[in-house]
Amino acid sequence: LTATDQSAVNNSADNVILAGDRVLFYYDARRTWLTRVTENSPPFHTHVGIIKIAEAVGLAYGSSIITTLGCRIFLLKPVALDYIMKSERRTQIVYPKDFGYIAARSGLRSGCKVFECGTGSGGLTTFFASLVYPTGVVHTFEEREDFINIAKKNVERTGFSSVVKFEHTNPTRTERSSYQAGSYDLALLDTGDPWNLLPLASDLLRGSGFVFCICPTTNQAETVCEALSQNFVDVECVEILLRRIEARLGKTRPSMRMIGHTCYLASGRKIKPEPPLENS
């Protein structure tokens, strides 16, 4: 394990914050800060008072410290989603409502192998790295150097980078020998033209493995579903809607605002191509 990996996993048993850990300082849902703590960490100033973050070292996760203005700040252990929402983002990222569905539908778990095209800011990469950790792999491809550098930095902070293999290239223009055909459990395509990557995804997936295409527009969803029906079965196109509820005694109602649209998820399961049956 690398030093950062160590910090991601070593406290799960004793629940104590160690120097070098990243901690989510939580005041309320809108006011949270994610930072690495050491005995020498300088305090930071917020509008709820100065938080002496060094005081967190040695305390238990879930406990709290008090700011100079008397506000209580809870010390939480960050999960992949906290890192993603705090990461540097130069591209549209995939939202939790969407990647959660992909994980459930594909049955992805620790040890699985994921192929991803379109690393972007590394949001999806981070989430799937946290699922396949510590023995799986997320093999991710990005053609833009500036984006892949940001994604590397974002993943590094989470402690899951030992299971991520970054490739700065377009995989359709790469020697296929760099990855093993028929060995991946899931292919994630978040590019503008996922249909052009389906032959490669089909080649890389094991039989019955899932491909998921992230499509911001209906036009893309339509085109890719048409293409999916050639080499995949169980083809599905869904849109996940998430509505927050403001739950307060006597006045519970949906939140006035919501994210109206992120993407459509078009998916299918790889099959071995067979000639049509005579009677079909």
Residue nearest to ligand SAM (CB): 120
Least Cβ distance, residue 215 to ligand SAM (angstroms):
11
| 194 binds ligand SAM, rule: CB under 6 A | no
| 221 binds ligand SAM, rule: CB under 6 A | no
Task: Return the residues of window 129-148 that contact ligand SAM according to CB under 6 A.
Answer: 141-144, 147
Q: How far, in Å, CA of 221 to CA of 202, rounded?
A: 18
Q: Which two tokens stand for residue 169?
A: 């290239």
Distances (CA, A) of 124 to 186, 214, 239, 274: 13, 11, 17, 33
Q: Which is nearer to ligand SAM, 61 or 147 (CB)?
A: 147
Position among 4, 7, 67, 121 found at the interface with ligand SAM (CB under 6 A): 121
Least Cβ distance, residue 278 to ligand SAM (angstroms):
39
| 183 binds ligand SAM, rule: CB under 6 A | no
Exposure on the CB side of residue 122, measured as CA atoms within 13 A: 33
Q: Which is nearer to ligand SAM, 55 or 239 (CB)?
A: 239
Task: Please name the residues in contact with 71: beta carbons below 8 A apart, sequence gap of 6 or more.
Answer: 27, 48, 49
Label each residue of 112-167 as H, E or C: CEEEEECCCCCHHHHHHHHHHCCCCEEEEECCCHHHHHHHHHHHHHHCCHHHEEEE
Q: Which is nearer to ligand SAM, 121 or 231 (CB)?
A: 121
Residue 46 β-bridge partners: 49
Position among 8, 73, 78, 123 found at the interface with ligand SAM (CB under 6 A): 123
Q: Are the beta carbons of 131 and 112 closer than 8 angstroms?
A: yes
Position among 21, 75, 122, 185 found at the interface with ligand SAM (CB under 6 A): 122
Q: Which stretch binds ligand SAM (CB under 6 A): 85-93, 218-226, 240-248, 260-268?
A: 85-93
Q: How far, in Å, CA of 199 to CA of 176, rounded?
A: 12
Position among 120, 136, 159, 268 found at the interface with ligand SAM (CB under 6 A): 120
By CB under 6 A, name the binding residues for ligand SAM. Answer: 91-94, 117-118, 120-124, 141-144, 147, 170, 190-191
